[in-house]
């Protein structure tokens, strides 16, 4: 069944705001959407992301392929003209989890640091990883999603994750834990990001 090929997504601007227009003539369940496209569940273990820009599908496929075997991103199954079929990750995104818990554990801090370091090690040049782009899977294991610009944009110190943590009142806790877990990462962030100005 390739019903997903009937789904289209477009981005339109209305009143100065970009809006995603989704045309879904199928029974596939919408499970997420963002600026790049929309994600639909295909099966218990599989989902498809339909992109506004076909080039973004190719870039995301390349990024997921580069990170295969690391178990920090979804498994890649297929890349099409405007879609990527990948592993469906069950669990809340980290932003929702932290809002609910009102604290960040050292285990989560350690995993965030490890994922960022691994992405950099394998050649990612944009380490965006907003906390909404981490999924907390079974066993409290973090995986990172949404990597279409990971290999093509030069932005290794994107402050989005730190801004997200600050808005939740968890930035200081995260940074204190990070100092104890990996001083090298903490010092690198401090050189490139002024935490006080976030």
Tell me the per-residue pLDDT of 60-88, one tens digit each, with 9 for 90 and over.
Answer: 999 999 999 899 999 999 999 999 999 99
Tell me phi and psi for residue 160, to 5 degrees.
-55, -45
pLDDT tens, residue by residue, 143-184: 999 998 889 888 777 788 999 999 999 999 999 999 999 999
- Is the pLDDT reported for residue 1 higher than 70? no
* pLDDT value at 34 more than 90: no
CA distance 189 to 57: 30
Per-residue pLDDT, averaged over 10-31, amounts to 92
Quick check: 193 pLDDT over 70? Answer: yes
Asked whether the predicted pLDDT for residue 18 surpasses 90, the reply is no
Q: How large is the angle between the packed helices 183-192 and 171-181, nearest 10 degrees?
A: 130
Residue range 88-101: mean pLDDT, rounded: 96
Region of 56 on the Ramachandran plot (φ > 0 left; ψ -120 to 50 alpha; else beta): alpha
DSSP line for 68-130: TTSSSSPPEEEE-SSEEEEEPPPS-BHHHHHHHHSS--HHHHHHHHHHHHHHHHTT-SB----
Output the pLDDT for position 196.
82
Tell me, what's the pLDDT at 121?
Answer: 94
pLDDT more than 90, % of the chain: 79
């Amino acid at each position: 069944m390739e019903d997903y090929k009937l789904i289209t997504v477009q981005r339109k601007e209305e009143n100065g705001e970009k809006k995603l227009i989704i045309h879904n003539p199928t029974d596939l369940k919408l499970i997420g959407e963002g600026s790049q496209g929309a994600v639909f569940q295909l099966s218990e273990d599989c989902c498809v992301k339909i992109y506004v820009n076909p080039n973004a599908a190719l870039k995301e496929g390349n990024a997921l392929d580069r990170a295969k075997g690391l178990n920090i991103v979804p498994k890649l199954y297929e890349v099409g003209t405007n879609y990527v079929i990948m592993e469906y990750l069950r669990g809340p995104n980290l932003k929702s989890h932290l809002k609910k818990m009102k604290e960040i554990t050292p285990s989560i801090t350690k995993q965030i640091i490890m994922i960022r370091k691994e992405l950099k090690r394998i050649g990612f040049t944009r380490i965006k990883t907003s906390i909404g782009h981490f999924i907390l899977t079974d066993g409290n294991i973090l995986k990172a999603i949404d990597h279409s610009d990971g290999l093509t944009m030069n932005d290794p110190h994107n402050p989005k994750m730190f801004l997200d943590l600050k808005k939740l009142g968890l930035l200081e806790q995260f940074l204190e834990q990070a100092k104890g877990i990996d001083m090298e990462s903490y010092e690198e962030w401090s050189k490139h990001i002024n935490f006080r100005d976030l």
